[in-house]
Structure 1
């Protein structure tokens, strides 16, 4: 032994959990899809008893639905659920940003700038209509939003935000949305508000950012192919915290829609 820390090697069950969860979040397991245990045993290399435990765990995260004696299926999607998830993300992230903006030091600022640099570079590729791996794009998006709240001082808040972020992300992936320059500009406003330590402007920018994405998904009917709710009027589309400018400005830069996540496609925006 050389004194180096031993890497954390996940168990078979934990590895299977991570793979199943990622496959749900990134749309490789579609909303409403039946989760046959025999097939999953072959795919994920875990026993049926372990899979039952893992799917029950995912059901507690609202990513899977347990159907009693009928087994399990991937949680369905709907406009109403998307709006609720978005409202909760806004509540958590805005509060965490306020704390983070107040407490973050120079290292925190550097982390925010670096994360935005990576995200903006990939957004420029999307705007140039280059093909981009959706999971890479969304990882950069996550890293930027995570950097904004990293100095909030609450591990529980960060954990809770991460869980709801993944539920929001699943909607972005299955709807395959890219709002172009509008989303990139919203990210720039979030960066500027962070460097200025202006939490009020940051909250407004975040509300518009999330609200515009929900509005776009509703207006385009992107969830209809999964049996989501019928299209509603734009006034019903986004979180209650959305500002008037978000209501009026959403969807102006709507662009490419494509097939299943995991391919080289223009990524979801958010």
Structure 2
């Protein structure tokens, strides 16, 4: 997901929370990195007390570990967590697909069309070797998957899926490579199945899509 647009109603704490979260997911703050409060205070231009509150919020998503008096560190990456996140994403996303396909309207279909158009454009550039578009792909990938399930009418389900999606995405950022044509084909097929409202077909694509993502990350050799 990795939201980057600052809303006018956001507080400074909200903005810094998102910045730190984004830095963890993108790998700018790598797994196991110590978060030194004095240094982080300068980096993010926020008070130590507010920083502590933000880091405590991030512990709720298992992105940060609180070490008592020793401070905080970025949660480690592991094969076990990757597999657990993949399983959870499949459960949440396939359930949301059933709800969304039953309730979606013409406006919902339009959102899917627009989201896939942007994603396909970013993927075309990545396949052509333009790695500078990776950050676009990260954003558009979530927007596409989010659009497909957005008609599920469950804010709790969407919030939980968003968190799991981002934590799963962190592993792909650590792998430091794009999956190539196979992921592009998955997205094209998922788009077509969504427009047809083929629930079981879309669910099967998501299962395969997520599991192949796990295999790609593990093959990178960058996860313990």
Structure exhibiting the larger radius of gyration computed from Cα positions: 1
CA deviations 1:81-122 (Å, max 9, x no partner) are 001011111110110011111111111111111111111111
What displacement does 1:11 show?
A: 2.0
| Secondary structure of residue in 2 paired with 1:179 | coil
Q: 2:4: which partner in 1? A: none
SS at match of 1:150: helix
- Supply the distance in 1 between the matched residues of 2:10 and 2:131 (Cα, whole angstroms): 33
| Structure 1 residue 174 displacement after superposition | 1.3
Instruction: Give per-residue Cα distances to partners, 1:10-41, cap 9 Å, x unaligned.
Output: 22222211111111111111111000000001
Match of 2:129 in 1: 129
TM-score by length of 1: 0.78
Aligned to 1:120: 120
The answer to whether residue 188 in structure 2 is matched with residue 165 in structure 1 is: no
Greater per-residue helix proportion:
2
4+ runs deviating over 3 angstroms: none
The runs of 5 or more residues in structure 2 that have no matched partner are: 1-6
C-alpha RMSD of the superposition = 1.2
Residue 4 of structure 1 is matched in structure 2 by: none
2:3 aligned partner: none
Aligned with 1:132: secondary structure? helix
Distance 2:133 2:181 in 1: 18
The DSSP-based 3-state class of the residue aligned with 1:151 is: helix
Residue 220 (structure 1) shift:
2.9
Deviation at 1:133, TM superposition (A): 3.2
Aligned length: 218
Match of 1:155 in 2: 155
SS in 1 for 2:10: coil
Aligned to 2:81: 81
Compare 150-159 and 131-140 and name the one that shifted more: 131-140
Q: CA deviation at 1:137?
A: 1.1
Distance 1:211 1:107 in 2: 30
